[in-house]
């Protein structure tokens, strides 16, 4: 049984508001569904990530964090004018990051990235996450490189912009080793390249329930990480890096 901190997964509970996104509504995937799916892992925690179909709703997230318990944190989407009091309230539930969903929408506009990222870090110590194709990174690279704490989802998605991602990793940006069934790149090659720049940068996540991915998460994804990186470095990717990032 592998020890893991799941740095990227979604909870989809129909008791709470859902928004159709680009004609898509996800099937339910509750906390119980999630825990049943990952029962082969020795979980020390994880990050519940807000999706495009959840918009700015916080009710599902606070409920999920209470249900999942110790070690689990939230990654939310917020409008730029969210009050200090609301940020601190969400922090008390375990929210630790704000997300900009450039790929699918449903989050604050990217023009607010610098302001929101700096504000949430100053008030609550949160970092900022982006779901973005790496080909689109050059336009915001100077902003990202100057921010205090940033991560990029799903290995940056594409090979064509991967070198832009590596440049940002060299400047301190973290990357989620997630969504292997949705990326357009050679996963082992990408893992090795990122680890060579910064072995602390990679953070494993299941991406469950893998909404809209060509192939959902499979346990073999973890073995791919171990086969590619070796035991010591793979342990960092599976749980040490992410637990340090989210729970410090």
Over residues 126-184, the pLDDT tens digits come to: 999 999 999 999 999 999 999 999 999 999 999 999 999 999 999 999 999 999 999 99
pLDDT score for 134 = 97
Give the integer Cα–Cα distance in Å for 165 and 248.
24
User: pTM for this one?
Assistant: 0.96
pLDDT score for 129 = 98
Angle between helices 59-68 and 84-93 (to 10 degrees): 30
CA 186 and chain centroid, separation: 20
When pLDDT is cut at 50, 70 and 90, the band that residue 104 belongs to is confident
Neighbours of 164 (CB within 10 A): 18
Q: Which of 22, 43, 30 is nearest to 204 (CA)?
A: 43
Could you give the 3-state DSSP secondary structure of residue 194?
A: helix
Q: Inform me whether the pLDDT recorded for 85 exceeds 90.
A: yes
Give the integer Cα–Cα distance in Å for 11 and 23.
19
pLDDT (tens digit, 9 = 90+) per residue, 26-48?
999 999 999 999 999 999 999 99
């Amino acid at each position: 049984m592998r020890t893991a901190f799941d740095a990227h997964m979604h909870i989809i509970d129909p008791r709470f508001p859902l928004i159709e996104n680009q004609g898509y509504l996800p099937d339910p995937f509750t906390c119980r569904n999630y825990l049943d799916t990952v029962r082969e892992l020795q979980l020390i925690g994880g990050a519940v990530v807000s999706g495009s179909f959840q918009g700015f709703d916080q009710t599902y997230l606070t409920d999920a964090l209470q249900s999942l318990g110790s070690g689990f944190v939230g990654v939310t989407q917020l409008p730029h004018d969210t009050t200090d009091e609301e940020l601190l309230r969400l922090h008390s539930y375990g929210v630790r990051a704000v997300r900009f969903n450039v790929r699918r929408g449903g989050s604050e506009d990217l023009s607010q990235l610098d302001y929101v990222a700096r504000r949430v870090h100053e008030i609550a110590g949160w970092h900022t996450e982006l779901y973005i194709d790496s080909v689109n990174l050059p336009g915001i690279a100077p902003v990202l490189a100057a921010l205090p704490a940033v991560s990029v989802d799903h290995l940056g998605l594409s090979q064509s912009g991967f070198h832009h991602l590596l440049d940002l990793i060299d400047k301190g940006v973290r990357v989620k080793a997630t969504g292997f069934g949705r990326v357009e790149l050679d996963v082992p090659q990408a893992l090795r390249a990122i680890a060579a720049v910064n072995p602390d940068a990679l953070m494993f996540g299941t991406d469950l329930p893998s909404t809209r991915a060509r192939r959902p998460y499979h346990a073999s994804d973890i073995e791919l990480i171990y086969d590619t990186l070796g035991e010591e470095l793979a342990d960092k990717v599976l749980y040490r890096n992410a637990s340090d990032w989210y729970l410090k």
